[in-house]
Structure 1
Amino acid sequence: MNFSDYQHLLFERRDNGVLLVTLNRPEKYNATNETMHAELARVFPEISADPLTRVAVVTGAGKAFSAGGDLAMVQAMAGDHERVASMLDEMSRLVYGIIDCNKPIVAAVNGVAVGAGTVVALLSDISICAADAKIGDGHVKLGVAAGDHAAIMWPLLTSMAKAKYYLMTGDMISGTEAERIGLVTKALPREDVLTEALRIAEVMATGSQMSIRYTKKALNNWMRMAGPIFDQSAAYEMLCFMAPDVVEGYTALQEKRAPQFPSATPTA
């Protein structure tokens, strides 16, 4: 891997083939702009092909894991068919890139995880989350359908009842509650998250590589079987970027007020 090709991801090689990957826009709470999103879409296939990496640990710089999509990126996409089509392809490469990566991935969720941050956190094979972190899928609050990973992962990890509630309301959930309902592997005090993630990575990095990777590959067929569900949800999300609700969604976020979506306006 050529680490110098990445602008918003930092890399540190640890002992026994553990690669620490840090989402690095701390001044923006690691929100994904177009550059970072593109980097996330290509880093996992590169990790999969990297002979020096046995296990990847992903965390965030500063106080957050990732605060979702940068509003400037969202604003640029709204109503722009070419950008939306490109994002649909990139989103697919991100989701399938994590699922198809043959190396174990451990997420050290050290703070808030929204949007693309939640994609990485919940699609990782093991997720160690700060107990006081906030996790959520806020697509509907922005005015777009819950795409990305949500439709395949939340019902699989929790239940259809929980998935529908959190994805259709956009409510956030604490790391402690996320562990309770099975959304993440463990919830720990924030200061212990990265240490535990690296410990687990070390266990897998020094274990039988073939057996661990084949176990992951077999288990991930649950997600592969749900591929058509992801494809449909991603297309619906991108379709919503061509509608007026998303404009009101990002405007309300910028103005720090409740949205008044055109689709919810009473008709005469």
Structure 2
Amino acid sequence: MGYESYQQLGVDVADGVATLTLRSGQKFNAVTWQMHHELGLIFDDLTRDPDVRVIVLTGAGDAFCAGADLNWLRNQLQDPPTPREAREAGRAIVLGILDCPKPVIARVNGDAIGLGASLALLSDIVIAVDTCKFADPHVRIGLVAGDGGALIWPLLIGYARAKEYLLTGNAVPAADAVRMGLVNHAVPAGELDATVQRYARQLADGATMAIQFTKTSTNIPLRQAVESVLEASLAYESMTLRSQDAQEGVASFLERRKPNFVGR
């Protein structure tokens, strides 16, 4: 299969392993409209590719993904997507990862923030550089953690811990993320590639049908959660995109000042 149509995702397939690289061109691989659109398509294409048995998801350079590009988000505030558009776009990405039968390994080579954190945490195995952090700070700019955060964090670390981080937007250092079960491994930068390749090679050389059906079976509760939690959280996020607090949150971030939220 050819992946030339993808502008902000790089795909390199070698010996059964597809390396999927986030490369928006924005600082810290922040998500643009184009990347968001492409993320909703790429996992279906990788599923259909007979040469791919394992997917490694990573970021270009020294960054993984900083979440939504704030300028794109500001444009959304001026012209918010309809609830249907927001629902379909959000579901396409989350279900793309969950419904892809091929194992997805997140190679987290830098901070994973917002949607970046969701992309990593929805993956099947998460291997992070030990200097990175994970956070979903939607609330800090007046938005609901609707694009996967409210779905996956509680299922990984329990509701008490998840609510602490989702309601504050505080970051979790990689070592703490391992201890609480948010991610699988945190390793020094010099060991990241070897660790990722060890798992990728084991999965690519394993019993493909057994591995894929095991992933599909294990993800059944996640798929069920999508139909309840994700549907609601995307709808609520769509509502907050129309709020004064979201306008203030994005403006204050771009202007590097403390926000003045009014609850509307």
SS at structure 2 position matched to 1:4: coil
SS at structure 1 position matched to 2:57: strand
Which position in structure 1 is the counterpart of 2:258?
258
User: What is the letter of the counterpart of residue 14 of structure 1?
Assistant: A
User: What is the letter of the counterpart of residue 152 of structure 1?
Assistant: L
User: What is the letter of the counterpart of residue 75 of structure 1?
Assistant: R
Deviations 1:151-203 (A, max 9, x none): 22111110111000000000011111111100001111123223211220110
Which position in structure 2 is the counterpart of 1:14?
14
**Contact 2:9–2:20 under 8 Å retained in 1:** yes
**Contact 2:82–2:238 under 8 Å retained in 1:** no
Which position in structure 1 is the counterpart of 2:45?
46
Distance in 2 (CA, whole Å) between partners of 1:20 and 1:55 is 9
With over 3 angstroms needed to count, the CA separation of the structure-2 counterparts of 1:76 and 1:85, relative to structure 1, is: farther
Please give the TM-score of this superposition, normalised by the length of structure 1.
0.94
With over 3 angstroms needed to count, the CA separation of the structure-2 counterparts of 1:230 and 1:27, relative to structure 1, is: closer
Structure 1 alignment gaps of length 5 or more: none
Shift of 1:30: 0.5
Which position in structure 1 is the counterpart of 2:183?
184
Please give the TM-score of this superposition, normalised by the length of structure 2.
0.96
Shift of 1:79: 4.6
Which position in structure 2 is the counterpart of 1:236?
236
**Contact 1:59–1:194 under 8 Å retained in 2:** no
Shift of 1:77: 0.8
1:147 aligns with 2:146: yes
User: What is the letter of the counterpart of residue 170 of structure 1?
Assistant: G
SS at structure 2 position matched to 1:12: strand
Q: How many residues align?
A: 263
SS at structure 1 position matched to 2:38: helix
Which position in structure 2 is the counterpart of 1:112?
111
Structure 2 alignment gaps of length 5 or more: none
Alpha-carbon RMSD: 1.4
Shift of 1:27: 4.8
Shift of 1:82: 3.6
SS at structure 1 position matched to 2:4: helix
Distance in 1 (CA, whole Å) between partners of 2:201 and 2:240 is 42
Instruction: State the identity as a percent.
Output: 39
Shift of 1:107: 0.3
**Contact 1:147–1:233 under 8 Å retained in 2:** yes
Shift of 1:26: 5.2
Shift of 1:65: 0.2
Which position in structure 1 is the counterpart of 2:194?
195
